[in-house]
């Protein structure tokens, strides 16, 4: 099942993104600190749920999700962020790029699930596509 491979990829990427957005949350600097601090908290809380939902779907399909940090880091394509000071624009641009990556991944997951008539995985993917498309629109508008 191609969707298990994609689910694992997205699961690994979700955990790296979760960690990256914590870094942004703690280390944003500037006059709009409160807004970006709150927004990044919303993002990492959302991706904690996504990480869990992906893992549970992998198990439901009879496979094993990523369970170690080594496995996650070996598999992830989202890059970690080691800097510890950020301006809000830099954070928003980075989140936008990662959202675009996730959008492609969830669309690919939806297509793979549809080929296998796996409507549950397709529904999971499609709900994330809808959320990401709106989030990308909002970030693009904010950065304009």
pLDDT at position 1? 82
Q: What is the pLDDT of residues 32-84, one digit of tens each?
A: 999 999 999 999 999 999 999 999 999 999 999 999 999 999 999 999 999 99
The answer to whether residue 125 scores a pLDDT higher than 90 is yes
Beta strand extents in the chain (DSSP E only): 28-29, 86-87
Mean pLDDT of the chain, nearest integer: 98
The answer to whether residue 109 scores a pLDDT higher than 90 is yes
Q: Which domain holds residue 44?
A: 2-143
CATH number (domain holding residue 65):
1.20.1260.10
Q: What is the pLDDT of residues 19-32, one digit of tens each?
A: 999 999 999 999 99
For residue 7, the Cα-to-chain-centroid distance in whole angstroms is 12
pLDDT at position 31? 94
Domain count, the chain: 1
At 56 the three-state DSSP class reads: helix
């Amino acid at each position: 099942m191609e969707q298990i491979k994609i689910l694992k990829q997205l699961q690994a990427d979700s955990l790296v993104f979760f960690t990256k957005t914590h870094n942004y949350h703690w280390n944003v600097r500037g006059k709009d600190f409160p807004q970006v601090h709150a927004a990044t908290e919303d993002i990492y809380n959302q991706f904690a749920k996504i990480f869990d939902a992906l893992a549970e779907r992998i198990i439901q399909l009879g496979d094993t999700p990523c369970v170690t940090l080594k496995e996650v880091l070996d598999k992830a394509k989202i890059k970690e962020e080691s800097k510890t000071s950020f301006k809000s624009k830099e954070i928003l641009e980075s989140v936008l790029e990662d959202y675009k990556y996730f959008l492609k991944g969830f669309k690919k997951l939806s297509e793979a699930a549809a080929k296998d008539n796996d409507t549950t995985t397709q529904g999971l993917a499609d709900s994330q596509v809808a959320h990401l498309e709106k989030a990308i629109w909002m970030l693009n508008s904010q950065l304009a």
